[in-house]
Amino acid sequence: MKASLQAKMGQSMTLTPQLLQSIRLLQVTSLQLEQELHQILERNPLLEQEADEEEPVSAGDGDDAALEAAAWDELPEPMFLSGGSHAGDPDNDATARIAAGESSDPRQRLLQQLQLRCNARELAMAAWWLDCCDDRGYLEGDPFDLARHGAMQLADELPDADATALLAARQRLLLEGDWPGMAAADPRECLLAQLRTLSASDARALALRIVGEQLETLARHELPALARQLDASPAEVATAVALVLSLQPHPVEQPPEPEPAFIVPDVIAWRGGGGWQVRLNTRSAPRLRLCAHAEQASGHAGMRGLLDEARWLLRSLGIRNETLLKTARVLVTRQRAFLEQGEEAIAPLTLKEVAEEIGVHESTISRITTGKYIQTPRGTLELKRLFAVRLEGAEVSGAAIKAMVRRLIEDEPAHAPLADEVIAAMLARQGIRVARRTVAKYREQLCIAPARMRRRERGPAPMARLG
């Protein structure tokens, strides 16, 4: 075999530890940043904390770091960030250490996963079943009754989605989804679905019998009784029970984390000087600077690395603060009507629109707004709250329409509750054309009962609620 040399051109980028730090600092919360900076202060003697001031934080002299970090924004696909060539091993992705900042809504996380392998029809039916589930992933009703109701509700959108097709879609969600047992009717069905996804074995076969036939005995921890009723040895029962106990008690893989006991706003917005003013909350994290003797210490070989680390950290903090401030200013400017008038005035706004206005990549805006809060006269809000999806065929956001639906129902006559189609017609007269099923979806998300139930249950309260 004849050896030869070939020249190839390729695009690659090596993520240095410093650049990874810059990217990570974009997405840490105020409390995380404060803890990390205190640890760095203890570790690096060339840094010191500035006195607290109520002045806006600027990026300082972070131009060099900004130029290097800007390369991150220009890379649309994680494949380029593997630390090697474009054809590098995707399993060796250097960005895997960076949290993606997923939605806390399990329904949204699961739908994003299903988009990879489901067509639009299958996805719509799966979304309908997920809407029928509680926070744990269990159905809120009998599957057959829900399927019949769903076939009627989806008749306009999916004419061929009858009750049989919907039940088949639930079965796929139950057994073939990323979270086995999702949309289960009860814990027994959830556990059986998880067991059926495991490899065949004697322990699995016995576990299926235990869950299917003797779940009450298992709940009482009566293992000798299980062995007698199943005609199995105590050791076999113990192995099967251990397999059952290793399963998820409910379909949702990771329940939402509890809300923090308190929130430290990252940004403060207020009206003043003839308009809206925005500044960073400098009390949410310590402000650092180089010590007076830092430059003299650079002559020490052991201190040179600490000085480089300190300089890069200050530049990274400058990039973070400048990006956060610019993003907050755009959000406040674009959502001024919402801040002044309320929910019904929230405008459609996407990550991409903000990114284009600031001149960064969409992923940067996603990271800098995740877990960050802004203090406003309307209350302390998560920055993500200021984004809103434009409803198809309308010039307003879905969040604004939901607020309008709430107001119309709150103001409806007590003796004549408004049906969904009436609300849709009232919105159409305001130039907002939405389907009746869209109104029904928003009403259900607001936990408001249908008109016929509100008429029966109407009392002193402004509106009846489900649950």
What are the pLDDT digits (tens) for 361-401?
Answer: 888 888 899 889 999 998 888 898 888 766 655 566 677 77
Half-sphere exposure (CA, 13 Å, Cβ side) for 134? Answer: 11
Between CA 284 and CA 32 the distance in angstroms is: 10
What's this model's pTM, rounded to 2 decimal places?
0.47
Distances (CA, A) of 229 to 106, 113, 211, 432: 39, 41, 13, 64
Strand order in the sheet with 373-376: 275-280, 267-272, 373-376, 379-382
Ordered per-residue pLDDT tens for the chain, 467 residues? 555 555 555 444 444 556 666 777 887 888 888 888 888 888 888 888 876 554 444 434 444 444 444 444 443 333 333 333 333 343 333 333 333 444 556 666 777 777 777 788 888 888 888 888 887 788 888 899 999 888 888 887 788 888 888 998 888 888 876 778 888 888 889 899 999 988 899 999 999 999 988 888 888 888 888 899 999 999 999 999 889 888 887 887 654 455 555 788 899 999 888 889 999 987 766 788 888 777 777 677 667 778 888 888 888 888 888 999 999 999 999 988 888 888 777 888 888 889 999 988 888 888 899 889 999 998 888 898 888 766 655 566 677 778 888 888 888 887 778 888 888 888 777 777 777 887 888 888 888 888 877 765 444 444 444 44
Distances (CA, A) of 264 to 86, 285, 286, 320: 41, 10, 13, 17
What's the confidence (pLDDT) of residue 64?
47
Residue pair 403/389 in contact (Cβ under 8 Å)? The answer is no
What are the pLDDT digits (tens) for 1-22?
Answer: 555 555 555 444 444 556 666 7
Residue pair 324/372 in contact (Cβ under 8 Å)? The answer is yes
Q: H helices within 231-379, ranges in order?
A: 234-245, 294-297, 301-334, 336-341, 351-358, 362-369
Residue 457, C-beta contacts closer than 8 angstroms, at least 6 positions apart: 449, 464
Q: How many CB atoms lie within 10 A of CB 452?
A: 10
State residue 133 phi and psi, 5-degree precision: -100, 155
Residue pair 290/47 in contact (Cβ under 8 Å)? The answer is yes
What are the pLDDT digits (tens) for 190-241?
Answer: 899 999 988 899 999 999 999 988 888 888 888 888 899 999 999 999 999 8
Which of 179, 180, 185 lies closest to 110 in space, CA to CA?
Answer: 179
Which of 424, 341, 366, 361 lies closest to 103 in space, CA to CA?
Answer: 366
Instruction: Please name each of the domains of the chain with its CATH number.
Output: 106-245 (no CATH), 398-457 (1.10.10.60)
Residue 109, C-beta contacts closer than 8 angstroms, at least 6 positions apart: 102, 103
Amino acid at residue number 31: L
SS3 call for 382: strand
Can you tell me which residue has the tokens 């796929």? 172
**88 CB burial (10 A radius; 0-12, 13-18, 19+):** middle
What's the confidence (pLDDT) of residue 17?
59
Distances (CA, A) of 338 to 6, 371, 389: 60, 20, 14
Between CA 145 and CA 450 the distance in angstroms is: 17
